[in-house]
Structure formats: structure tokens, C-alpha cells
């Protein structure tokens, strides 16, 4: 069997799309070093394809208007999402994209840079930047099509939103994770005289503090994006049986500002005693 036929047979066996990098899937531990896959990693591969199906129409719409799609993966970590988007769009779809991975851990930036070079993913760039520097860094293009943040923990999703708003990104795709900040504030406010005592029953028990805090965080994020003129959709990324961190937020810029959403955002911050985190949900004029 020729090497080409062997690879095609492997792709058919493991449900890998034609043209996708087998070496990348090995590096991401979706495939083992000898090209095998088990039930857990097959499920992981299906989840990857599922996420791509949400983002692909956005990329194709942009590509219909210009010859290169610019994506910033903020808080990239190991750049899992950035690599997958690049591989699927460039190697499988045979279209052009430039991906920037922004990460403040130098060792991860170096590792991703090395992998991109190894795979000859020429239009992938990795930048060692903190949140503040990423906003003003001149290496990052001013014209950004898509900002993504996959499993950005706690306030890192807010950081990605800040970055996207400063750069007036056309589209934002977020999968938030581990949102503890508001839950901790809500716990402290359970006996506050400034909040309706009946209202505090929504988060009185620890499990409710965590769940309601997470829900409220995303509602406030959505209102902030809507206030800046984005049309926002929140949906389930994957089934609950796979992960509890499965909310997908997609925002598309449609106008400059939305005063109604801004008013609702401010009312919720006041109602739940969240004055201390107002800056997290700042509206830029």
C-alpha cells in the first residue's frame, strides 16, 4: 500500500477530514503517535468539528468579501483552537487565513511557534503579551475579523472582550470557563441590606452561588456586547454529558451602540450589588 493510500485509509477509519494534518492531530493528542484513536479521542474530534461548524460560516462570509481572514485567539494557551481553525480552513477548505495566538505564558508561546514552524503553518503567529499590551501592540493588525477565546478561565473571557472591543472586531466567539469572580461577590452580598432579601435566595446555597454567578456573568457579558452594537447568540456547544463548561457565545457587529442594552446592563449591576466589578463591563463611547 502506498503512503498516500495508507493515509487516506487512516483518514477514513478515524473520521478525519480529507486534507487535515495528521501530524497536528497527533501533537494535539487526538491521534496517538502511531495514528490510532480511542473512543474518548474520537468524541474529542467530533467536538472539534462541531465547534468549527459554528465558526466556519463566519469565516466563509468574511472570505467572500476579502482574500484573507484575520483571527486573534486571545488567551490562546496551547493554541488548540487556533491550530484547528487554521488547519480546517487553510488545509481542508483551501482558503486563506492568518491566525494570531495571544498568550502571556512564554513557554506556551514558544511551543506553539515551534509547532507551527514544524507543520509549515506559515500564517500562524504567536505573541507573548499580557492583556494590556495586547490591546496596544502594533504587531496585531487593526483590522480584525474574528476574536476567539476558548475555555478562557474566570476573568480571561472579559479580557478577550476588552481586546475585541478596542479593536472593533467584526465577530467574537467565546466559550467561557470557571467563572468564580461574581459568585464570590454574590456570597458576600447574601446578607446585604442593599439587596432585596428574596432576591438573594437565588444564590443562597453554595451550588446556586456558583451556577447563578456563572449565568449572571454571561448575561452581563452579552449585554455589554449588545450595548456595543453586537447581535449576540448564546447556545450550547456540546452536550452536558461531555462538559459542564459548554456555553458558546457568538457576537456579530451590526451597529455602533445599543442604549437599551447599556441601560439594562447598568440596572443589573446595581440590582445585584456589583459596583466593585463595574469596570469589567465598561462601555466604550
pLDDT at 2: 52
Q: Give pLDDT < 50 ranges for the chain.
A: 1, 5-13, 240-243
pLDDT at 245: 61
Looking at the DSSP bridge assignments, the partners of residue 31 are none
pLDDT at 172: 97
Quote the pTM value: 0.89
Q: How many domains does the chain have?
A: 1
Q: What range does the domain containing 188 cover?
A: 65-281
Sign of CA dihedral 190, 196, 198, 201: negative
Is residue 234, in this structure, part of any structural domain at all?
yes
* CATH code of the domain covering residue 240: 3.40.50.150
Is residue 98, in this structure, part of any structural domain at all?
yes
Is residue 12, in this structure, part of any structural domain at all?
no
pLDDT at 56: 95
Is residue 49, in this structure, part of any structural domain at all?
no
Residue 269 to residue 149: CA distance in whole angstroms = 24
pLDDT at 41: 74
Residue 151 to residue 157: CA distance in whole angstroms = 8
Is residue 243, in this structure, part of any structural domain at all?
yes
CA angle at 113 for the pair 110 and 118, rounded to the nearest 5°? 125
Q: Using one digit for the tens of pLDDT, what is the confidence trace for 77-113?
A: 989 899 999 999 999 999 999 999 999 999 999 999 9
Amino acid at each position: 500500500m502506498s503512503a498516500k493510500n495508507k493515509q487516506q485509509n487512516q483518514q477514513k477509519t478515524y473520521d478525519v477530514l480529507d486534507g487535515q494534518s495528521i501530524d497536528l492531530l497527533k501533537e494535539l493528542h487526538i491521534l496517538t503517535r502511531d495514528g490510532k484513536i480511542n473512543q474518548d479521542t474520537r468524541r474529542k474530534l467530533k467536538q472539534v468539528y462541531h465547534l468549527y461548524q459554528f465558526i466556519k460560516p463566519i469565516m466563509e462570509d468574511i472570505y467572500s468579501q476579502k482574500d484573507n481572514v484575520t483571527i486573534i485567539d486571545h488567551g490562546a494557551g496551547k493554541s488548540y483552537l487556533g491550530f484547528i481553525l487554521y488547519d480546517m480552513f487553510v488545509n481542508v477548505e483551501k482558503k486563506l487565513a492568518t491566525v494570531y495566538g495571544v498568550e502571556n505564558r512564554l513557554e506556551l508561546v514558544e511551543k506553539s511557534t515551534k509547532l507551527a514552524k514544524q507543520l509549515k503553518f506559515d500564517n500562524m503567529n504567536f505573541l507573548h503579551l499580557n492583556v494590556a499590551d495586547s490591546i496596544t501592540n502594533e504587531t496585531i493588525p487593526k483590522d480584525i475579523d474574528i476574536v476567539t477565546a476558548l475555555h478562557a478561565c474566570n476573568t480571561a473571557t472579559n479580557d478577550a472582550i476588552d481586546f475585541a472591543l478596542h479593536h472593533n472586531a467584526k465577530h467574537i466567539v467565546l466559550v467561557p470557563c470557571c467563572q468564580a469572580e461574581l459568585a464570590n461577590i454574590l456570597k458576600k452580598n447574601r446578607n446585604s441590606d442593599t439587596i432585596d432579601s428574596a432576591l438573594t435566595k437565588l444564590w443562597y446555597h453554595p451550588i446556586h452561588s456558583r451556577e447563578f454567578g456563572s449565568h449572571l456573568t454571561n448575561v452581563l457579558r452579552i449585554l455589554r456586547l449588545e450595548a456595543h452594537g453586537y447581535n449576540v447568540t448564546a447556545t450550547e456547544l456540546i452536550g452536558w454529558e461531555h462538559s459542564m463548561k459548554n456555553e458558546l457565545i457568538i457576537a456579530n457587529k451590526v451597529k455602533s451602540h445599543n442604549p437599551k442594552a447599556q441601560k439594562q446592563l447598568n440596572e443589573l449591576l446595581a440590582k445585584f450589588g456589583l459596583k466593585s466589578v463595574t469596570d469589567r463591563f465598561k462601555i466604550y463611547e
